[in-house]
Each structure stands twice: as structure tokens, then as C-alpha cells.
Amino acid sequence: MALLALATAGGCSVTAVHVDHGLRDGSAAEAALVAAAAQRFGAAFRSERICVGAGPNQEARARAARYAVLGPDALTGHTADDQAETMLLNLLRGAALNGLGGMRPHRHPLLDLRRSQTHELCRVLAIRTVDDPTNRSPVHLRNRVRAELLPLMDELARRDLVPLLVRQAEVWRDDADLLDHLAAALDPTDAKALAAAPLALARRAVRAWLSTEHPPDLATIERVLAVARGERAACETNDGRRISRHHQQLSLDAASPR
């Protein structure tokens, strides 16, 4: 809601999109609240419904489905607090430098604002909002990072760590961008060049080569580099594809049927 108010005030052509995941009672009725806010601020409105079935990784699957219907140009209202949480979540999940860089500002224009500032903006403008109860559920790791881990870290450091974490994410993002730029000049199918390259660049070149919807895990990348060095003749990726080496060239074959 804060993003809606700020985007329209900034003269943008805005469409507010409500996505109903169908995961809790009453979620469909919240579309009317978003539609009313869009009308108040002179924005267009669109409502979408997606189906996210029960099962593992429900939060991740809901996020993927949401972004699919939002489209590639959609902006979100994530704040600096969300950025700090994302960085810590990625650290807990073993993410590399790119993951520790957090979200990129081009899709998240409010990353310089604190969550409390967006709340205050909505209060001052008398904007009705919805408090999603799932944001307090300890089932989701992000909620525990928000409610438990970050407050404990603040207490131990005796300071508000969100600005520090956000600044560190920016530094790591710049470092990751530089390494990606350098790795782009490396041909991942050239086994000899890959084996001779600095390990950080070789890993990134392989990761970019093998990435589909999700990047390969580190174990897969290490197996591919072992093939490039001639330590093994072939290997499988974590998604079932096969890497083989012939005459100093690496080839990637589709996953074999199970």
C-alpha cells in the first residue's frame, strides 16, 4: 500500500495487482480493499487467483506462482528490513556471494525505507491495510528470523543491525557483479580453459551455463570442474543432466528418463 501511494505520487502509471493464493480464509475479500485504494490514488487495478497446493516448500512455490502472474515489470514493497531478513535467510541456506547480495533495487524500490516508515506512511494517509496472519507463523523460517534472530543479533551487537546488513549486502552484490562480468569471458565448454581459470571464475562460469529456473548446487559445480580437469570422464548434474568431456570440450546432455 505504501508503494502504491508513493508510485502514484511520483507520477508513475500504476496498476495495483492483488494476488489471492487461496491459502487462508477471507483472502479473496481483500481484493476489494486493494481496489478501493487503487481508485483513491488513481491507479488501475487487476485481481489474480493462483492455486498453490499443500506440500513441501509451499512458501517458495507460492512466491514463484505470484511472480509469474505479476509479470517481469512488477515492483514490490520490500523494505530494508526485508532485505536484512533475506540476506540472513540466504546465509542460513548456504547461499554464495550472489545470494548474500540480497534483492536488487530495480524490482524493489523501497529498499532504502524501513518497514516502520511504510507503516507510518499508511497511518498518516489513513490507508487501510491487511495484516497477513501467516507473517507471524513460526512455521516459516523468515518469520523466526524476523521475530527471534534479528532481535537477538541487535541485542548482542547493542545496535540496530538492519542498516549494517543492508550495506554489507550492497558490497557483496557489487563484488558478485564484478565476478560475473569476468566469468562471462570464460567458455564453460572449453575444458582446458575452465581447468586453468581461477576457481571463483570457473565456478561462476559453470553455474551460469547450467542454470535453469534454479542454479546448480556447489556439489554439481565441483563435479563438472573435476570432469574439466580430466579427473573423471563424465558426471550428472543435480537435475539429472549429464556432462561429458571429449577432446577438451564439455557437452551437456538432457536428463535421461527415469
Given a cut of 80, is residue 134 above it in pLDDT? no
pLDDT tens for each residue of 178-235: 999 999 999 999 999 999 999 999 999 999 999 887 788 899 999 999 999 999 999 9
Q: Helix or strand or coil: residue 32?
A: helix
What are the tens digits of pLDDT across the range 15-48?
999 988 876 777 767 889 999 999 999 999 999 8
Burial class (CB in 10 A: 0-12, 13-18, 19+), 137: exposed
242 pLDDT more than 70: yes
3-class SS letters over 36-102: HHHHHHCCEEEEEECCCCCCCCHHHHHHHHHHHHHCCCCCCCCCHHHHHHHHHHHHHCCCCHHHHCC
Q: Which residue has the higher pLDDT, 189 or 70?
A: 189
pLDDT at 76: 94
Predicted pLDDT of residue 64: 80
Instruction: Give residue 55's pLDDT.
Output: 67
174 close to 180: Cβ distance less than 8 angstroms:
no
Domains of the chain: 1-73 (no CATH), 76-183 (3.40.50.620), 185-253 (no CATH)
Burial (CB count within 10 angstroms: exposed 0-12, middle 13-18, buried 19+), residue 44: exposed
- Give residue 199's Cα distance to chain centre: 25
Long-range contacts of 99-107 (CB under 8 A, 24+ apart): 100/168, 100/169, 100/172, 101/169, 101/170, 101/172, 101/173, 101/175, 101/176, 102/166, 102/169, 102/173, 103/78, 104/173, 107/74, 107/75, 107/76
pLDDT in tens, 119-129: 999 999 999 99
